[in-house]
Amino acid sequence: MASNCKLTKHGSDVFEDPTFYRSIVGALQYATVTRPDITYCVNKVCQFLEKPLNSHWKAVKRIIRYLQGTQDMGLTVKPAENLSNLPIVAFCDADWASNIDDRKSTSGACLYLGPNVITWWSKKQQTISRSSTKAEYRSLALASQEIMWVESLLKELQVTHQTPIIFRDNLSTVAMSHNPVLHNRTKHIELDLHFVRDKIQDKTLTIKHILSEFQTADIFIKPLPNTQFITLRNQLRIQDCNSID
């Protein structure tokens, strides 16, 4: 998706065949199973299934052209070097009030088990956040929940793992998750999100800051310039199959 693309549901240029639009977008949803690089843009065009406009269809055609030009690329999976103590690393981020129609934020994250990315998502948050910190913290809580699920699965399979790490590029969110004093000033954040702090105190979860240019989750929350998009796509281990030994 073009980095300056701002899609909205308001407009008079109604697409002439909404059923065709829905069928194409539905097919693109299946492609996200192995192509996390198109997760954000597919999630975005899915928000206009009720009344698609020509501007939405233009964005869909851009996705199709991108897939046509990268048919040989796919998600690379390789064996872990040490199965006895697998690292669990997650990257999560949020784009505050990014939806110009309802001003809801977008959460995005990806989770690595060993060298491989095993789960990823791009979701519009269900409620409106009055601050960027609240939107970021909600995204952090969602990633923590996903880690808990992966941990329970590994425990059932009797696979040991390291203490999970979540990387954030928002310093205020990292500070708030570690410092319980700051929570007294953020009572507007729902209590069910504060389990993140409890996991940190139990030493079952680690939250670390990362520079924005290395934040892999950016690819799931907003359109990016070509250079940054390709860099993050490589971090997701999406490679050309012809270049793999």
Three-state DSSP at 26 gives helix
Residue 219 pLDDT: 96
| Mean pLDDT along residues 217-226 | 94
129 and 192 co-located in one domain: yes
168 located within any domain: yes
Residue 191 pLDDT: 58
97 and 64 co-located in one domain: no
Ordered DSSP codes for 65-102: HHHHHTTTEEE-----S-TTSB-EEEEEEEETT--TTT
114 and 150 co-located in one domain: yes
Put simply, whether the predicted model's pTM sits higher than 0.85 gets the answer yes
The boundaries of the domain holding residue 173 are 88-235
244 located within any domain: no
For the cut 60, the answer to whether the pLDDT of residue 231 exceeds it is yes
For the cut 80, the answer to whether the pLDDT of residue 180 exceeds it is no
151 located within any domain: yes
| Mean pLDDT along residues 93-117 | 93
Alpha helices in the chain (DSSP H): 18-31, 39-45, 54-69, 132-156, 171-178, 195-201, 226-235
Residue 182 pLDDT class (50, 70, 90 cuts): low
Give Cβ neighbours of residue 152 (< 8 Å, ≥ 6 apart).
none
| Mean pLDDT along residues 20-39 | 95
Q: Tokens representing 180?
A: 């319980």
34 and 122 co-located in one domain: no
180, 131, 168, 218: CA torsion to nearest 10: 170
| Mean pLDDT along residues 12-32 | 95
Residue 133 pLDDT: 79
245 located within any domain: no
